[in-house]
Amino acid sequence: MRPQLTTIVRIVEVRSFATLLFVLGAAACGRPATGLALGEELFETCTPCHGANGGGNPEIAAPGIAGLPQWYVETQLQGFQAGFRGKHADDLPGLRMRPMAISLREDDIPSIAEYVASLTPAFAPSTLHGNAGAGAEIYTPCVACHGTDGLGNEVLHAPPLVQMDDWYLLQELQNFKHGARGAVTGDTWGITMRVNTLALSDEAMEDVVAYVQTLR
Ligand code: HEC
Ligand code: HEC
């Protein structure tokens, strides 16, 4: 009898997971104790999706993460682990990312986040065609947390937006609005952000994203 397709898919999944464990295991043997060197080693497991320099890969909806602040990368990895992100059935990109975060040891998160923060942001070119002029007005309430310069605010846990891919910003605004992000009890900062998306139409989202890109 021929194996079912689902069985084959499962075998492939198990194999890639085994490879990941092997890489992590190998890293565990002669691993530097902590800090940037450890982060750099661990980052090898991220490059298949986020790219060697952390510049991202739009084809698999993996955003550029290079140069995101350490505090934000830490909270997001913890958020994926806790199921604040990447658990909603419709959130395919998030579902791909969550197992990666779960595979990290709690102690490794600061090192990998430090390494990601040390990389130079890619500032990928625009892919959308929103109206930046209209977006400027829509951005007015966002200033309170993300700043007039779009560089974010650590105290308010609001990340920088200027360096992010436009398709990713749009995707996250939609995720917040539809409850794939910022809707789980305990996700204080996600919930704070979600409220700001509920009244935004798809068009308004594209416009505000176009405006954010002009802040570069
Ligand atoms: C299998 C592909 C894949 C791998 C491997 C992967 N990621 Fe991701 N990552 C994604 C995708 C897809 C997203 C977008 C998720 C979403 O839209 O919510 C993402 C999102 C993220 C985010 C959120 C960015 C933001 O602005 O909020 C961070 C941080 C991140 N990944 C870090 C990592 C790190 C660190 C590693 C290595 C330990 C890693 N990723 C490995 C696919 C991957
Ligand atoms: C009250 C403060 C606050 C306001 C106002 C606010 N945000 Fe946020 N925003 C946040 C916080 C906090 C996060 C991080 C949430 C988390 O940790 O998941 C965030 C995250 C985001 C993200 C996800 C970025 C990423 O890398 O994944 C986008 C996109 C975003 N905000 C856009 C906006 C836009 C556009 C507006 C205005 C319409 C806005 N925000 C208004 C606090 C705010």
Task: Tell me, in angstroms, the distance from the centre of ligand 1 to residue 133's CA.
Answer: 31
**Is 211 touching ligand 2 by the criterion CB < 6 Å?**
no
How many whole angstroms separate alpha carbon 159 and alpha carbon 210? Answer: 17
CA distances from residue 164 to 54, 95, 116 in whole angstroms, order as listed? 12, 20, 14
Say if residue 58's pLDDT is above 80. yes
pLDDT, one tens digit per residue, over 172-211 is 999 999 999 999 999 999 999 999 999 999 999 999 999 9
pLDDT, one tens digit per residue, over 67-94 is 999 999 999 999 999 999 999 999 999 9
Angle subtended at Cα 138 by Cα 134 and Cα 142, rounded to the nearest 5 degrees:
145
Ligand nearest to the CA of 171: 1
Ligand nearest to the CA of 157: 2
**Is 157 touching ligand 2 by the criterion CB < 6 Å?**
yes
Instruction: Show Cβ contacts of residue 124 under 8 Å, excluding neighbours closer than 6 positions.
Output: 55, 56, 58, 64, 165
